Structure 1
Amino acid sequence: MTEFTGTAAGLKLAGQLMRQLGTLCVAGYHHSGPRELDVELRYRGVTLVNGFTPQRHRQLAALREGLRLMSERPLTLEPPLTHEVALDDLDTGVGQLLERPAGFVKCVVRPSRST
């Protein structure tokens, strides 16, 4: 999971949503004061990754590499995205996540119904 809010509340929520042995990338800009992280993350084996670096050359290199990978498409997200729901049907998507119907891997939630 990647946290981009830059707020204490967003960071806390991201920590609460983490699964055991998951990875939390903190990419939000957290410069408005100290932040607290729940020590329970450590006991759940969560890996914490810094998504921000003040070294601009590293950011630009990562951005270039990401754009290259997107344009060449050596790896796509489509195969794991087996189900899709509109935001209005979020309950259906959560139900699929919990029930894991045959063929279910991941469900994407779209802001509006696909046409």
Structure 2
Amino acid sequence: MVFFDIDLKYIIKYNNYEGLRLGVGGITNDNLSDRYKIGGYFAYGFKDDAIKYSIGNSLRLNKERGTGFNFYYIDDIAEIGSFKYLTDDRLYSVFEPRLVNVTQFYKPQTWQANLQTEF
């Protein structure tokens, strides 16, 4: 019985700042718990010689409404002037031409908490 879903978008990437970036990420699934999930990722950039990671959890408060509370900590890089859209987390590409041309990144440390529900 597998209780962890691997997220393939963290396995390999390339950009000017990190060079080659290798990582692994994922989240627990309903086989472990249908109310509580733990997830995150770990990545390493060879050019900047730095570790990036995220860790967090999710607690389902009401199954019928899909209500849940999420809490994450992220220590990673972001390009200067970037804006995260709601759909950005599901995109994956090994080679992103935009990131090869960007040379300036910053290293934010972010705490995120949210409450979500379906109306």
TM-score (norm 1): 0.27
User: Of Structure 1 and Structure 2, which has the larger fraction of its residues in strand?
Assistant: 2
Which protein has greater RCO, CA pairs closer than 8 Å, 6+ apart?
2
Structure 1 or 2, whichever has the larger Rg, is 1
User: Of Structure 1 and Structure 2, which has the larger fraction of its residues in helix?
Assistant: 1
TM-score (norm 2): 0.26
